[in-house]
């Protein structure tokens, strides 16, 4: 158990890729990332495509090497391969040896964890059941769908009972049932005291599952915190959902949005009672009044748009 209390510690992690003729130019895919993932938490790493999520995870797993900076996992440097005994990793869009069956591929990976044959057999069966592949266990992976491969990937990541599980886009390629099952597995891992870090661009998943999230855009970390803390929790307005029963001549109606038989109207907090009064006078039946708060998605979109605007400005100025 690490003494620091952090499952992952990242300091100034940078990755640049050479490009152009003779590879003389460099493009940063990750710039000076500083971040910690605490023991026992579910940490969501969110960002748009190409933001640097997978790059960070590949650096942590030793699949690529940093241009600068360091990282430690469970108190050990990422170059220490023996530390992988305590880590489970699901690659993005995983692919496995297609000439093997699901049971064979899991048994193959389990062999690297010094498990006995009996233990391997028991774990493989348990994992296949857990990810819903029990009936397909003897089918070669070349006949598997993308979603089924994702399930195999998840099973191999947690097969050896790791302390830390790193999942790169675990919901990718899954149908709603599969996504629900993955969410349940992540919550079960949390209950077991494991640390889970997963990348995603499905923000509702992050909001639902994570103790904390890190938002990365354009290779830079733009914010870390609990989903609720990260966004501005101040009420942005009030939303009134109503239905008209008779003639409609309320002046506010022009500002409302029609949704089937109902209307949705957003007003400022201090204008709420006046608006309700007007609607009632116009014969409206009010169904609900709710607070409108900023969501993680809005926070995320604001960052992405700011990043795009900055990139355009740099392009125009020729820098």
Partner 1 sequence: MRRAGIVALNTFREAVRDRVLYNLVFFALLMMAAAVVVGQISIGIEESVIVSLGLSAISVIGLLISVFIGVGLVSKEMEKRTLYALLAKPVRRWEFLLGKFGGLVLTLAVNTAAMAAGLFLVMLYVKHSLEQSDTVVLVAVYFIWLKLALIVALALLFSCYTTPLLALLFTAGLYIVGLYVQELRNLPAEVMSPAMAAFTKWLSYLLPNFENFNVMAMAAHGRAVPGTLILQNTLYAMVYCAIVLAGAAAVFSRKNLK
Instruction: Tell me which residues touch partner 1 (CB under 8 A).
Output: 58, 61-65, 81-85, 87-91, 93-97, 99-100, 108-109, 111-113, 153, 156
In whole angstroms, the minimum distance from the beta carbon of 64 to partner 1 comes to 4
In whole angstroms, the minimum distance from the beta carbon of 71 to partner 1 comes to 15
* Nearer to partner 1 among residue 72 and residue 222 (C-beta): 72
In whole angstroms, the minimum distance from the beta carbon of 140 to partner 1 comes to 8
Number of separate helices (H) and strands (E) present in the chain: 9, 14
* Nearer to partner 1 among residue 82 and residue 261 (C-beta): 82
In whole angstroms, the minimum distance from the beta carbon of 157 to partner 1 comes to 8
* Nearer to partner 1 among residue 67 and residue 125 (C-beta): 67
What are 16's two structure tokens? 């640049």
* Nearer to partner 1 among residue 113 and residue 121 (C-beta): 113
Write the DSSP string, 158-176: HTT--SEEEEESTTTT--H
Question: How far lies 311's CA from each of 217, 317, 318, in Å?
Answer: 12, 10, 11
In whole angstroms, the minimum distance from the beta carbon of 300 to partner 1 comes to 27
The alpha carbon torsion through 118, 122, 123, 127 (nearest 10 deg) reads: 150
Which residue is listed with tokens 């598997």?
Answer: 144
In whole angstroms, the minimum distance from the beta carbon of 23 to partner 1 comes to 12
SS3 for 234-294 is: CEEEEEEEEEECCCCCCHHHHHCEEECCEEEEEECHHHHHHHHHHHHHCCEEEEEEEEEEC
* Nearer to partner 1 among residue 51 and residue 83 (C-beta): 83
169 Cβ neighbours under 8 A, 6+ residues apart: 53, 54, 92, 93, 198, 199, 200, 201
The alpha carbon torsion through 271, 272, 274, 275 (nearest 10 deg) reads: 110
Question: How far lies 122's CA from each of 101, 142, 158, 160, in Å?
Answer: 16, 24, 14, 11
* Nearer to partner 1 among residue 158 and residue 296 (C-beta): 158
* Nearer to partner 1 among residue 109 and residue 198 (C-beta): 109
In whole angstroms, the minimum distance from the beta carbon of 312 to partner 1 comes to 29
Nearest CA among 303, 58, 29 for reference residue 199: 58
């Amino acid at each position: 158990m690490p003494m620091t209390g952090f499952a992952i510690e990242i300091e100034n992690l940078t990755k640049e890729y050479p490009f152009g003729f003779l590879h003389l130019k460099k493009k940063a895919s990750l710039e000076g990332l500083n971040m910690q993932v605490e023991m026992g938490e579910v940490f969501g790493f969110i960002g748009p495509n190409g933001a640097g999520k997978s790059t960070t995870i590949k650096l942590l797993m030793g699949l690529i090497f940093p241009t600068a900076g360091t990282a430690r996992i469970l108190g050990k440097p990422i170059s220490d391969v023996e530390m992988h005994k305590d880590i489970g990793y699901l690659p993005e869009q995983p692919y496995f040896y297609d000439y093997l069956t699901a049971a064979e591929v899991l048994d193959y990976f389990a062999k690297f964890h010094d498990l006995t044959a009996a233990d391997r057999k028991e774990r493989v069966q348990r994992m296949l059941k857990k990810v819903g592949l029990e009936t397909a266990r003897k089918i070669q992976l070349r006949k598997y769908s993308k979603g089924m491969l994702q399930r195999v990937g998840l099973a191999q990541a947690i097969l050896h009972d790791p302390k830390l599980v790193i999942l790169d886009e675990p919901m990718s390629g899954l149908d709603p049932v599969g996504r629900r099952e993955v969410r349940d597995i992540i919550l079960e891992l949390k209950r077991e005291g494991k640390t889970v870090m997963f990348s995603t661009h499905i923000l509702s998943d992050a909001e639902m599952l994570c103790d904390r999230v890190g938002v990365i855009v354009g290779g830079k970390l733009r914010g870390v915190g609990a989903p609720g803390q990260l966004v501005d929790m101040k009420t942005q307005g009030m939303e009134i959902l109503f239905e008209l029963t008779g003639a409609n001549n309320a002046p506010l109606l022009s500002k409302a949005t029609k949704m089937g038989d109902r209307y949705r109207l957003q007003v400022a907090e201090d204008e709420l009672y006046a608006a309700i009064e007007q609607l009632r006078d116009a014969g409206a039946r009010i169904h609900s009044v709710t607070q409108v708060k900023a969501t993680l998605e809005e926070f995320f979109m604001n960052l992405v748009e700011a990043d795009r605007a900055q990139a355009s400005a740099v392009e125009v100025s020729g820098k």
